[in-house]
Structure 1
Amino acid sequence: MTFRFAICDDEQIALTAVSGILVNKFSEHGVTVKADTYAPEQGLADVLCSKAYDAIFLDINMPEQDGVKIAEELRARGNNADIVFVSGAEDRVFGTFSVHPYGFIRKHKFLEDIDVFVKMYMSDRFTENDPEIEFKANKTIFRLRTSDIVYVESIKEYQYIYTDDKEKPEKLRESMKTMEERLTPCGFIRVHEGYLVNYKYIMRLDKQELVTTTGKHIPISRRRLQYVREKYMKLSR
């Protein structure tokens, strides 16, 4: 599984430290972290909204832009990424509740708080709603977490399973109907005769296609459009 994080701070040393420690801590649990770092500047909210992040780490007191105001702008635009404040300004923690932050990491107790955050985040993300499913390809049996599967593409009698951490898909001889029956209870939507998509990876939904967080453009059949929209809204609540 891969988490995508954005880290915003006016101090380069903080950006380097936070990103490096997050990568190392999550790797201990077998999870990959892709971290983008940003210095505060005008238009930062535009940049953050243009990408699909699982969590955004914000310093509160930054000279160019206030972290809480950036968070408020993100929420006003409908950005629902988890927000984590990383700051030494403990007196301002109560002023952050309006944006419903996921957590607060104190800079003077950084290592202690980051351990708590990682354990909590892992616990929240790996629940019974994220089961492993067993597949068989030729004579090989393999297992995948449903949260790692971005989409399934059907080509003739074969199904190609694309995950968020591998460029090459897993190929197996199976019917799309069977794949749909197995994956629909796990948050997958049949958007087209040839595609089954994990709703968690949908970044944009248009009339004719959707775009995943990995950048893949997937067609939506006209007769399924209303169903896809309703299903996505229901799953996103």
Structure 2
Amino acid sequence: MFNCVIVEDEYPAREELKYFISNHENINLEKEFDNPIDALKYLQCNKVDGIFLDINMPELDGMSLGKILRKLNPDMKIVFITAYRDYAADAFEIRAFDYLLKPYSEKRINEVLESLIKSSENENDSPKEIARINKVTVFLGEKMVVISLDEIYYIEVIEKESMVYTKNQVYSSKLKISKWEEILPKPEFYRTHRSYIVNLDKITEVEPWFNGTYILKIKDLKFKVPVSRTNVREFKELLTIK
């Protein structure tokens, strides 16, 4: 449901707009105002999806009110209604959803109303961001095991499989290293090499290696993780190596 208000000081224009809105069951008119100051007071305490806003009004013109409302509610759909074309550029600057000219055209009003409904439906249908949790599922043989991300010491990619090293176990995963980069928190985890991601909190020693690179000794483990030449500079900055 798209919830809106009308701010229009001319009674006939307000009634005509109300009539067209009433023909659309997916639009709910919450309030109507003939005074922009009253509208502002209401909208400071109540959030709506959209507003039909006359431009030429006493006390506070619609363009000034639109600028205030854009700051109060950046997502609000503002549809300006006016008898003048001169304000179109200003409406564009405020990111108005649309600009209706008086006298109203039935076809034009219905087009705007349908666009508002469609826009609202698309926003509601858009996928919501999934809350990130500190867990990941990996394999131990045929068994699926859930481990905490902070249990991971480092990850090594061998051919098309990721080997996930913890203190006492090595797990496998079909996730690509690019996906691991995406899900592992930064800067705790760093990709030191095209085939390795390491938990920086688990590094105990940084040893100089050939061609100005490094090799990393990992807490509790014997294997050492390499740092490629292309990553050396960024790695030194992360660990403040001078």
Q: TM-score, normalised by structure 2?
A: 0.48
Structure showing greater relative contact order (alpha-carbon pairs closer than 8 Å, 6 or more residues apart):
1
Larger CA Rg, structure 1 vs 2: 2
**Higher share in helix:** 1
Q: TM-score, normalised by structure 1?
A: 0.49
